[in-house]
């Protein structure tokens, strides 16, 4: 490995000695990427603010609860942060999740139900159009996320990782979009 691209770090993980290669953080590419993130998120928030208002009013008129949903996710270096989304489910959706575990349609540590009964009417539209993801532009401005990168997973899903290679996703900032979104 080229030492200019990564630093070797030695640590113990689950009783094993592990060598991990971590990207060099002062590389100009990371600075350029952060600049693009700040510019893109700023322009996005300003230009989409009328749409934010319409979505917020729609959520408030069609269901009880807050407009935004904040969920703890794991970001770079497994640091936890609150990821913002427009609320697409009933306000008690997280409490109801254990009741639907047997309906999970995805293998591995991820939870997904195609026609989730916890979704609200406006939530179905927001999810289908991915408009529920727009508040993550705030996370990008705060430096918790990037415009492009691996999706930040909920704590529930990360705790179910069984393969060590899955931890590589924590070497970079998670993104609003990435390979998973454009592949499915």
Q: Is 170 exposed, middle or buried (0-12, 13-18, 19+ CB in 10 A)?
A: buried
CB-based contact 86:55 (threshold 8 Å): yes
Going by the DSSP 8-state scheme, the letter that residue 112 receives in this structure is: -
The CA angle 113-116-117, to the nearest 5 degrees, is 150
pLDDT at 147: 95
Kindly report the pTM of this predicted structure: 0.75
pLDDT at 153: 79
Alpha helices per DSSP H over the chain:
28-62, 93-96, 121-129, 136-142, 155-158, 179-183
pLDDT at 163: 66
Q: Which residues contact 53 (CB under 8 A, 6 or more apart)?
A: none
Reading the chain (184 residues) residue by residue, the pLDDT tens digits are 455 566 677 777 677 777 766 666 667 888 899 999 999 999 999 999 999 999 999 999 999 999 999 989 888 887 899 999 999 998 887 777 777 877 777 766 667 787 888 899 999 999 999 999 999 999 999 999 999 988 887 777 766 666 666 667 777 889 998 776 666 5
Going by the DSSP 8-state scheme, the letter that residue 88 receives in this structure is: -
pLDDT at 9: 72
Beta-strand relationship, 80-86 and 68-74: antiparallel
């Amino acid at each position: 490995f080229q030492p200019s691209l990564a630093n070797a770090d030695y640590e113990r993980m689950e009783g094993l000695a592990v060598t991990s290669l971590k990207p060099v953080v002062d590389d100009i590419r990371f600075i350029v990427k952060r600049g693009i993130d700040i510019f893109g998120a700023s322009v996005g928030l300003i230009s989409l603010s009328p749409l934010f208002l319409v979505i917020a009013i729609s959520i408030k008129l069609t269901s009880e609860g807050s407009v935004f949903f904040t969920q703890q996710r794991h970001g770079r270096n497994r640091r936890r942060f609150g990821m913002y989304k427009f609320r697409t489910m009933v306000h008690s959706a997280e409490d109801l999740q254990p009741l639907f575990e047997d309906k999970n349609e995805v293998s591995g540590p991820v939870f997904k139900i195609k026609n989730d009964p916890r979704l609200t009417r406006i939530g179905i539209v927001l999810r289908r159009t991915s408009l529920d993801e727009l508040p993550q532009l705030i996370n990008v401005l705060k430096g918790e996320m990037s415009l492009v990168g691996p999706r930040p997973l909920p704590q529930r899903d990360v705790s179910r990782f069984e393969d060590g290679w899955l931890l590589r996703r924590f070497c970079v900032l998670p993104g609003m979009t990435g390979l998973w979104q454009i592949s499915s």
